Chains A and B, each alone.
Chain A
Amino acid sequence: MNFNVLNPADWYVWMRNHRMATALLFLLIFPYLMPYEALSINILIFGLFGVGFNLLFGYTGLLSFGHAAFFGVGSYLAGISVVHAGWPWWAAIGCGVVASALVGLLIGYLAIRSRGIYFSMVTLALAQIVYYVFYKAESWTGGENGLRGVKVETIDLLGWSIDFMDPLNKYYVIFVFVALALWFVSRVLNSPFGAVIEAIRENEKRAAACGYDVARAKLLVFVLSAGLCGLAGTLRALHLSIVPIDSLHYLQSGQAVMMCLLGGMGTFFGPFLGAAVFLYLEDVITNLTRYWMGVVGIIFMLFVLFFPKGIWGTVLHRCELWLARKEGAA
């Protein structure tokens, strides 16, 4: 095909058609753009959390206030596998993902019977119940003190031994998982199923009228979303070597919503950018002023008022306009 290296429009079209490759390339060089690796790893993890959440919110149109439950369940089950059962890292990750998907099945089944704001409230209530269960199970979870000792020193894979304590190594190991998850999400969104969930977001009644089993589709996307957020949780447990109890709290759910909005819901890469901007800003602002909460609040309000599509959504929108103009002129 005609690819003119000097023509930015061609670059843009290539990137748009190969969004996965573009995203992965960016993430590969990401740690070198951030002041310290622990921040970039947090961004990876919360970016994945956002992507999982966005599957339900941006693409299906269901606003859940309880997604911290899946994130936290993933973290705790991975942590418990390592601390109490002595399982290796890959079993811990698997355990966390399966557990969060199961919890997603349960909560999803109960929640999708409600619509609109009531759906959000049911998810909030059920997630808080999960929070209390884990809070009280002190001997397993450490209760308010959190679960400590999730120590993974080396990753042994196919004869290679990677020092997981080295921050850059840790980033790239976690990157592999995030990349796989992103590829999975991309496949789901490009599939017929992906079209169905977007149809549900646009007009649920019409989707049902077209013959799609709306309830089943919603439940399935709920479970997938839960599993992805659970994966993010397991990676966080391995990264911090602790699992704090507020992984399950509704404020954590609120953070996921904010990151998605900031980045741009309904876009593929938006949540990542939202997580990056949110965490980076919080880091920078915290070192500048103790009133970081107010500053974050103002920025958030500005976005809601003037950039409802989020950063990435607005950027994409502008790029599309620019491309159309260019092609029109050509």
Chain B
Amino acid sequence: MSSQLFNKHIGRRSIVLGGAAAAVAPAWMGVARAQNTPIKIGFPVPLTGAFSAEAQDQVKAAEVAVKEFNEKGGFNGRKAELLVRDDKLNPGEAATRTLELIEKDKVDFVVGSLSAATQLSINAVCRDRKIIFNSISQSDAINEAKDWSMYTFHEALNPHLTAGAVARYAFPKYGKKLVYLTADYAYGHEMVRGFQRAGQAMGTQMLADIRFPLGTSDFSAFLPRIQSLKPDVLVMCNFGRDQLNAIKQATDFGLKATTKIISPVLLFTARVAGGADVFDGVVGGTSYYWGMEDKVPAAKAFNDKFRKAYGGAVPSDYGALGYAGVRSVLQAVLDAKSTESMKVSIALRQLRYNWYKGDQFYRKCDHQSVQSVIIVESKSKGMKDKNDVFNVVHIENADEKNLRTCDELGHKVST
């Protein structure tokens, strides 16, 4: 009988001990497992297609941000990992890839995109599944209430801001009579609207807004008319290859003799591919140009990191966005001490940062990153090396006033 009692006594204690061990052990093993699982960031960008050069730069710079994060110890020992996917600049493909990243690879966050249509498509998939998406390419639509969510963030510039900045610099300097050559899609229209808003405040006069189908390669059909209108400024509301073709053919028709050509966005890679002669004298905006490192210390620091990682190469404008997009998200993870989407979103909303060009923060109502715009002029003489393609003529500082108002974008509460 005493043995029974003894046994029961031991039995209970061992059950309690065993139970306690059982209760603790999975948690401990779970913690160990969580410490080993990397923080996955999905990165859908158009690795093939018209913007593959920019996209590959985005990947390279994003890898720099990830490496930096990991070398500093990561988050509680958890390292970050970049899962790069090719969305082929195709919104349907981008949606499928994002679904793959979320459902199969179980990513924690998504950063990426290089066109308005693809970012809206990625955003649609992410916000329905409550995954944070930090977009690194231009779009006005993503700020609007219709597409926005607590999980939608916009690291890149938007057309309104870029066009406005270029307008504020160029119109007072070069003249008031304008002709717009606009790609007939949302981005083109957004650029025109940005220019007009800023221009009307200065008393500019729009002689014509000539719209052409996206992807036109021969602009010669529009140039005689532009010539006959004799504008002071020809505003190229287009992007990438369209722009390259348009400027080239405008030069052929002798337009540069009488008219200043400006553009809201001058791509570094397009300029290098197009050559110095074609772009000579063209003024435009950009989110970043490596050559500003002598004026801005943050730029020098970023450039050096990139140079160190890639044998002296310099980052492009979209490359810098790739870096910032990833770094912001990872910083927010550290600030929130969690990878849970809503917590990281709140941390992002409170973030103040200076990763590569100056102070930035995300506006509360639409999560647009308020940032500076760099105005550059393309040069063909006095180039120190093949990367020295622009002169920085002006930097418009970060100012919320230059963005469209929260009300205008349809946001009810601007908390």
Contacts and interface: CB of A to CB of B under 8 A. Distances in A.
B69 to A, nearest CB: 24
Given A143-B185, A144-B214, A148-B147, 7 more contacts: A146-B117, A148-B121, A149-B124, A242-B92, A245-B117, A292-B48, A293-B48
13 contacts: A38-B99, A38-B104, A42-B96, A143-B185, A145-B185, A146-B117, A151-B128, A244-B95, A246-B91, A286-B48, A286-B86, A286-B88, A290-B52
Nearest to B88: A286
Contact of B186 (A144, A165, A242): A144
Given A145-B116, A242-B121, A35 B104 contact: yes
Nearest to A279: B96
A246 to B, nearest CB: 6
Contacts of B103: 36-38, 167
A244 B117 contact: yes
Contacts of A241: 95, 124-125, 128
Interface in A134-150: 138, 142-146, 148-149
B100 interface: yes
Given A36-B103, A38-B99, A241-B125, A145 B90 contact: no
A293 B93 CA distance: 14
Interface in B101-147: 103-104, 116-117, 120-121, 123-125, 128-129, 139, 141, 146-147
Interface in B46-91: 47-48, 52, 85-86, 88, 90-91
A245 B90 CA distance: 9
Contacts, number: 89
B90 A244 contact: yes
A123 interface: no
Interface in A163-207: 165, 167
A145 B120 contact: yes
A54 interface: no
A29 B121 CA distance: 29
Which 8 A-B residue pairings sit nearest by Cβ, starting from the closest? A36-B104, A38-B99, A144-B185, A244-B91, A240-B95, A244-B92, A148-B124, A242-B121
A281 interface: no
B349 to A, nearest CB: 23
B273 to A, nearest CB: 18
B47 A290 contact: yes
Contacts of A247: 92
A244 B100 contact: no
Of listed B96, B129, B186, B187, residue having the most chain A CB within 10 A:
B96
Dominant secondary structure at the A interface: helix
A36 B99 contact: yes
Given A138-B186, A151-B128, A242 B48 contact: no
Contacts of A286: 48, 86, 88
Interface in A21-46: 35-39, 42
B215 to A, nearest CB: 10
A12 B102 CA distance: 40
A40 to B, nearest CB: 11
Interface string A273-290: 000000000000011001
Of listed A36, A145, A292, residue having the most chain B CB within 10 A:
A145
Interface in B153-192: 185-187
Interface in A263-279: none
A149 B117 contact: no
B128 A165 contact: yes
B120 A148 contact: yes
Contacts of B121: 146, 148, 240, 242, 244
Given A241-B124, A241-B128, A242-B91, A145 B99 contact: no
A292 B87 CA distance: 12
B90 A246 contact: yes
A144 B146 CA distance: 16
A196 B413 CA distance: 64
Contacts of A38: 96, 99-100, 103-104
A202 B95 CA distance: 41
B348 to A, nearest CB: 22
A165 B129 contact: yes
A167 B98 CA distance: 13
